[in-house]
Amino acid sequence: MKNPYSIYSRQWLGLDYKVVISFLVTLFIALVLFGFKLATHVTCSPITINTTGEIKTAQNNTFNINEKVQFQASMSHSQKIEWDFGDGSKKVTGDKVQHRYLLAGRYFVNVVVNNKCKETFMVMVKDLKSAEISNKAVAESAIIGPDAVSAGLASSFTTAEQASSYEWYIEGDVAFGKKTTNTINYTASNTGTVTLVLLLDKDSSKIWKKTIVVSPPGTTATVPEKTITKLEPLPPIYTPPPKDYSTKPEDPKPVDNTGPVKPLVTTPPAKKFARVPDQEMQRLLNEVVDKKLGAGDFDNYLCKGGDTQIKVDGEWSTFKDLVAKLQKKKKGLLGSKKAKVKLVRQTPNPEMDNKCLIFMEVTVDY
């Protein structure tokens, strides 16, 4: 006996044609999406970064104000490298670029390769003061020239110091640039005070500064005199009356030592920090996922404890927020998934002799 419903449906191998067609269309779309993802997939290899300044310093990634710094990055199969220097300046593109920082401070530099692979590191920019010069008398006489000038008029400055290279610049004045002769001419455009800097042999221990007063055009340039305040006469020195030794002094009363003993005040020992490789820090963070460790267990690694800056998957956060994120499961269609730390890059604090971390970049997956 024939199936009375067979006239309303067609079958192939026991399956309705509509079901077979829907399955084939879904399979085709999935293959197209998989092929597109495979064709546009970018593998992020380790990014090699080098920084080079004009002045030799003992600490890595530490530079001076207005110093020309060369940044270089490389990665296998790199096509585009973009730099963000962290000081509000425009982003630049290239595997080798140059930049000057005009203000002292701590800056986080971001490098993006092929619009996907990211790397973040920190640079320190310092302002060299004349206090860093060991011989102050020599420092004051190293730059020879007027202490006051008029705006719009050229003034000459020179030095008697012998060196293989000379470098002159005005603090905060990028337009002046850098001069490389032992004698320079300087024409001020604005009134006020400027600081002229001389660097010899590209050695930070051979740097001198001179403050110059700039007066308006047509006036006599003079250095303002120091204000002398007249001091009031001091009161007469108090002289105590002579002691009378004719009477016998009273015997001192016994001291009562039966009272409570005050506890000794001790100074807490200095906090000790430890450093571990990136792979070990990754393992420790994965133990946070299983709640075997908490935020307080990392205080001996982090300079600021839970408030240490962290960049998680490209977004800024703090370490205590990172711990909360790692311990929270992510809900999906097939149930909850635990976090997994895939990559860790640590940045030590040069101001603490690189003993603790000031910044850390973490990549998390589920």
Q: In which domain, by residue range, is 152 found?
A: 130-215
Query: Does 85 have pLDDT greater than 90?
Result: yes
Query: Does 348 have pLDDT greater than 50?
Result: yes
Burial-class residue 281 by CB neighbours within 10 Å (0-12, 13-18, 19+): buried
Last residue of a domain, one of 170, 200, 215: 215
- Quote the pLDDT of residue 130: 37
Residue 1 lies in a domain: no
Looking at per-residue confidence, does 289 or 36 come out higher?
Answer: 289
Residue 201 lies in a domain: yes
Domain of residue 355, CATH code: 3.10.450
Residue 245's pLDDT band (boundaries 50, 70, 90)? low
Residue 40 lies in a domain: no
pTM: 0.42
Q: Can you tell me which residue has the tokens 């044609």?
A: 17
Residue 264 lies in a domain: no
Are the C-beta atoms of 189 and 150 separated by less than 8 Å? Answer: no
CA dist list (Å): 140 to 144, 145, 208: 9, 11, 8
Residue type, 115: N
Residue 103 lies in a domain: yes
Residue 224 lies in a domain: no
* Residues 358, 282 share a domain: yes
* Residues 351, 288 share a domain: yes
Q: How many domains is the chain partitioned into structurally?
A: 3
- Quote the pLDDT of residue 18: 78
The pair of structure tokens assigned to 109 is 């530099």
- The phi, psi pair for 19, rounded to 5°, reads -65, -40
Residue 229's pLDDT band (boundaries 50, 70, 90)? very low
**Alpha helix (H) residue ranges in 143-295:** 278-289
Residue 23 lies in a domain: no
Residue 231 lies in a domain: no
* Residues 317, 290 share a domain: yes
Last residue of a domain, one of 97, 126, 155: 126
* Residues 138, 205 share a domain: yes
Last residue of a domain, one of 86, 109, 126: 126
Domain of residue 119, CATH code: 2.60.40.10
